[in-house]
A and B are shown apart, each in its own frame.
Chain A
Amino acid sequence: MSDQNRYSVSTFPHIHSGISIRRLMIGIIIALLPPLGFGVVQYGLPAALIIIVSVLGAFFTEFGIDLLAKRKTVKALNLHSVVVGLMLAAMLPSGCPLPIVLLGSVMAILIGKIPFGSLGGSFIAPAILGILILFVSYPKAVTNWQFPNQDAEYNETYAAESPLQAVYTDPSDEYEYSPVKMFTGQGKVGAIGATSGLALTIGAFFLFFMRITRMYATLGYLIGLCATAFVLGKMYPEEPTVWFHLVSGYALFAAMFLVNDIPASPVTETGMILYGVIAGALTIVLRWAGLEFASALFAVAVTSLAVPFLDKLIGKPAYQSEVTRA
C-alpha cells in the first residue's frame, strides 16, 4: 500500500471550534488590562514595576518547571501563569516591596498550581493562594497602601489608610467617601487593580461578551453580598451601608474576576450561582467579624473548597438510558 493511500482516523467530530486554552487566557489578560491600566495611571511607576515582576516571576517559575520536567510541549506557553501574575499584581498595594511580590507570584505557581497537576487541578485560584501566603507572612507589606500619585517607597509608618480600614476604625468616616468616586476609583486608596470598580466592570463585561466566562457567579456574588450587607445593616445600624460594602476592598474584584477563575470555579449554572452567593455572604460575615483586609479573598478561597460538591448539583440528565434503568 502506497503512502498516498494512508488516511488518518479519529473519533467524530472532525472539526473544532478553534477555541484553545491560550485564547481563553489572552481574553482574560485583555479583560485585566483596564483595571491594571487604571492602577498604573493612578499609582505610577511602582505599580508598573509590581505588575512586571509578578508576571515574570509566575511565568518563569512555570517555564522552569517545564524545563525540569523535560516536557515536550512547553505548558507555560498557554499563558495561564501570566494571568496568575496579573491577578496577583492587581490585588497588591503599590507600596509592596518587589522581593515580596516575587515571592508571592513564585509561591502562587509553585504551591497553588504545580502540585495539583498544573492548570485545571487547583482547588483554590493560584493567585488567591499567593496573596494569602503573603498576607499571613508579611501582613504589613501587603497592606502598605499608598496615596495616588505619590512617590511610593516601602515605608511602614507612612502607609495610608484604606477606606475599609478607616470606616471600621471610625464608622462616622463613611460620610467622607462619595459612592461615585469610590466606584470610579478617583483618589481612592486601594490595590493596583482593584481600585476602580468601573474599570473592573468594563473588563468583566468583555469576558462575558466574548463568552470566555459566564456571569452566573458574578451575579450570585453581587446578590449574596448585597443581601447579607442589607440584613446586617438592619441588625446593626453602625455597620457600613450596602453600597460601601460593594465598592470597597476587593469586593468588586472578587465579583468580576476571582469567582470566575477558570480552574477553581464550578461549571454548572446552579453551582456557579450558589458559589457566588456563598462567597458574597461570607465576605460580609468576615468583614463584620473583624477581618477588614482580605475578607473577600478568604471568602472566595474557603468557598472554592466546596466546588466539587456544588458541581454535583446538576439534576437528572435529559435522556434516560436502558442500561441504568435496567
Chain B
Amino acid sequence: MSTFFLQRGIRLPVKKPRNLEIKDVDVPEHSSQQSVADEDGAKQTSPFADKYKEVATHQYVPRQSLAERISDFVAEKGQQVVIRLADEDPHSLTQRAITESLKKGKDKVKAALDQLAEKTGVSKFVFACHKGQDLGELVSLAASIIRVHHSHYPMMTRPCLAKRVLGESPVIDIHVRVKGVLVVDIGELMLLTEPDISAVVTVISQSGAQLVRVRRGATVYEILSAMSLLDGSKKVVMGSPLLGDAIYELHVAMTADTLTLFAESQDDLYQNLPCCNCGKCVKVCPSRLLPGLLSKHIYVENFEDAAHLNVHSCIECGCCAFMCPSRRSLVQFMRLGKQESRKAVGSHE
C-alpha cells in the first residue's frame, strides 16, 4: 500500500504483449553517403530555441555503455545489481522478447551473470520483470524478483527500480544517472559472453509494434529501407515513444532497442499554453515535485526558485508532459532549469 502512494506514475492503455516472435530482416549495407546532417532541416518547436541553443538543440542524452556504467559502479555494502527482463517503456517489446527466447537457456544466462559478478563484485542479482511474465528456468538464478504491472510507467526506469531495491531515496546526477545501483538490461547482459552481430529492435509504426532482428550497427535509414517503411513518416524517434530522442536525419547508427515512427509531424504536440493549475502533473510525478509551478518559474528565468523547489530531483520520465492539458513541454523546462540553475550555483562558489 505504501508503494502505491509513494511511487506514482501513469497507467498506459497498453495491452499485454502476446506475440513475441522475432522476424529476421536482412539489412543490406547502404553504400552511398548521400546525406550530411543539416541542422536547419530540424524544425524547432521550443520557446527557448533562440536563447538557449545548447538545450534546445540538445538531442542525445549521454547514454553510457554497460562497460562505462560498470566502471562507475563501486560495489560497497548494500549496493545492488538489477537485471531488467522487461522494457522500461511499456510500448517497447525488445527485452521481453529476448527473455522469452532465453527461457530455456539457463546456462547461457548463468555464464553471463558469472561474468558480471566478476566485474562488479556483486554475486546476488535482483530480477525486474512484469507481473505475470513467465521467466521459465531463469527464476532460479534470481536472489529476488521485482514484479511491475506491464502498463505502469515509469516503474521500470532506472531511478524507480533503484528506489525500489534500496528502499530509500537514491541519489541521481544531472543526467539522471543513479548512484549505487547498477541496472542491466538482459540484452546488454548477454553481450558480455556472446558477442552478437545481430540486434533485436522493436519498430513501432502506424501498423503497430513489430520485433525484428537486424544487423548490429546498421543505420536507421538502412533498417527502414529494408523494411520498406521509409515513406510516410514525418517524425522518427530513436527509442521508445515515451523516452526516445527525435532524430532529424536517418543516417545515424541504431543505438537504442526501439525505433518509433510517426506519420504526423506533431507540430501541435507541445503548444505551451499557460499553466491552468489543474494539478494533473503533481498527481503523476514519481518524484513528488510541482512540475507546473517549476515550469512557471523557469519560464520567467527564475532559476534560483526552481532550485529551491528541487528541480534537480526530476528523473525526466515525462509523466507530467504526458498528462498536461495545456500541452506544456515540461521535460524541456526541467532540463533547462537543471542546467541553468546548476550554472547559477556554480557561479556563486
The chain A residues found within 8 Å of chain B, CB to CB, are 1, 4-17, 19-21, 23-24, 117-121, 214, 262-268, 311, 314-325
Beyond the given pairs A16-B322, A315-B288, A325-B171, 10 more chain A to chain B contacts, judged by CB atoms under 8 angstroms and listed by A's residue number, are: A7-B246, A7-B265, A8-B248, A9-B59, A10-B246, A268-B282, A319-B287, A319-B315, A323-B345, A324-B307
Contact in complex: A322, B273 (CB < 8 Å): no
Give the chain A neighbours of B121 by CB distance below 8 A. none
A319-B45 contact in complex given A14-B241, A314-B290, C-beta closer than 8 Å: no
Assess the A318–B169 pair: CB atoms within 8 A. yes
Knowing A8-B234, A13-B331, A267-B282 are in contact, say whether A320-B277 is a contact too (CB < 8 A): no
Q: Which residues of B are found within 8 Å of A10, using beta-carbon distances?
A: 45-46, 235, 246, 266, 269-270, 329
Contact B241 A15 (CB under 8 A): yes
**B253 cross-chain contacts in A, Cβ below 8 A:** none
Q: For the complex, give the distance between the alpha carbons of A20 and B276 in Å.
A: 10
- The minimal Cβ–Cβ distance linking B177 to chain A, given in whole angstroms, is 9
For the complex, is B323 an interface residue (Cβ under 8 Å from A)? yes
Given contacts A317-B289, A318-B163, contact A9 B246 (CB under 8 A): yes
B292 contacts A267, CB within 8 Å?
yes
For the complex, give the distance between the alpha carbons of A19 and B45 in Å.
Answer: 20
In the assembled complex, the Cα of A262 lies from the Cα of B288 at a distance in Å of 20
Contact B287 A21 (CB under 8 A): no
| Contact status B329-A1, CB under 8 Å | no
Q: Is B242 in the interface zone, CB < 8 Å from A?
A: yes
B35 & A267 in contact (Cβ 8 Å cutoff): no
Q: How far is the CA of A23 from the CA of B332 in the complex (A)?
A: 25
Partner of A267, one of B172, B273, B290, B327: B290
- Bound together, the chains give a CA A322 to CA B266 distance in angstroms of 35
B99 CB–A CB distance under 8 Å: no
Q: Which residue of B lies closest to A13 (CB)?
A: B318
B95 is an interface residue with CB less than 8 A from chain A: no
The reply to whether B282 and A21 form a contact with Cβ atoms under 8 Å apart is: no
B320 to A, closest residue via Cβ = A13
Question: Are the C-beta atoms of A262 and B278 separated by less than 8 Å?
Answer: yes
In the complex, what residues of B have CB within 8 A of residue A316's CB?
169, 288
Cβ 8 A contact of A8, one of B10, B43, B59, B283: B43
Beyond A9-B246, A14-B244, whether A318 also contacts B42 by CB under 8 A is no
| Known contacts A5-B249, A24-B278, A13 near B242 by CB under 8 Å | yes
Q: Is the CB of A263 within 8 A of B276?
A: yes
B159 at the interface (CB under 8 A from A): yes
Bound form: Cα–Cα A318–B76 in Å: 23
Taking CB atoms, residues of chain A closer than 8 Å to B45 are 8-10
Is B247 in the interface zone, CB < 8 Å from A?
A: yes
B152 to chain A, nearest CB (A): 15
Secondary structure type dominating chain B contacts: loop
Q: Decide yes or no whether B98 CB sits under 8 A from chain A.
A: no
Contact flag A13-B243 (CB < 8 Å), given A7-B236, A120-B277, A214-B279: yes
Give the shortest distance, in Å, between B305 (CB) and chain A (any CB).
11
* Interface presence of B80 (CB below 8 A): no
B331 near A11 with CB under 8 A, answer yes
Does B170 contact A319, Cβ atoms closer than 8 Å?
yes
A139 smallest CB distance to B (angstroms): 31
Task: Please tell me which one of the listed residues A9, A20, A265, A319 contacts residue B313 in the complex, with CB atoms under 8 A apart.
Answer: A319
Given A8-B266, A14-B266, A20-B325, A321-B242 contact (CB < 8 Å): no
A-B contact pairs, 27 of them (CB 8 A): A6-B248, A8-B265, A8-B267, A9-B246, A10-B246, A12-B239, A13-B322, A14-B262, A14-B269, A16-B327, A17-B322, A19-B325, A21-B276, A263-B277, A265-B277, A267-B277, A267-B282, A267-B290, A268-B279, A315-B288, A317-B313, A318-B169, A318-B287, A320-B170, A321-B313, A322-B171, A322-B173
A202 to chain B, nearest CB (A): 22
User: Contacts of B105 on A, CB cut-off 8 Å?
Assistant: none
Q: In the complex the two chains form, is A1's CB within 8 Å of B326's CB?
A: no
The interface residues of chain A lying within 8 Å CB-to-CB of B169 are 316-320
In the complex, which residues of chain A have a beta carbon less than 8 angstroms from the beta carbon of B43?
Answer: 6, 8-9
Looking at A266, A316, A321, the one whose CB has the most chain B CB atoms below 10 A away is: A321
Task: Say how far B175's CB is from chain A's closest CB, in angstroms.
Answer: 10
Report chain B residues within 8 Å CB of A12.
Answer: 237, 239, 241-246, 318, 331
Is A121 touching B172 in the complex (CB atoms < 8 A)? no
When the two chains form their complex, are residues A15 and B290 in contact, meaning their CB atoms are under 8 A apart?
Answer: no
User: B10-22 CB contact bits vs A (8 Å, 1 = yes)?
Assistant: 1000000000000
User: Are the CB atoms of A320 and B171 closer together than 8 Å?
Assistant: yes
- The answer to whether B310 has its CB under 8 Å from any CB of chain A is yes
Residue of A nearest to B245 (CB): A12
Complex CA–CA separation, A311 to B294 (angstroms): 12
Complex Cα spacing A11 to B276, Å: 21
What are the residues of chain B within 8 A of A121 when measuring CB–CB?
A: 274
Please give, as numbers and ranges, the residues of chain A lying within 8 Å of B241 by CB-CB distance: 12-15
B139 at the interface (CB under 8 A from A): no
Alpha-carbon distance A20/B269, docked complex (angstroms) = 11
Please state if B323 and A324 are interface contacts (CB–CB under 8 Å).
no
A19 contact from B7, B170, B279, B280, Cβ within 8 A: B280
C-alpha spacing A264/B277, complex, angstroms: 8
- Tell me the bound Cα distance from A19 to B266 in angstroms: 15
Q: Does B6 sit within 8 A of A, measured CB to CB? A: yes
On whether A14 and B237 interact (CB within 8 A), knowing A262-B276, A322-B174, the answer reads: yes
A262 to B277, CA, bound (A): 6
How far, in angstroms, from A268 to B7 measured CA to CA in the complex? 15
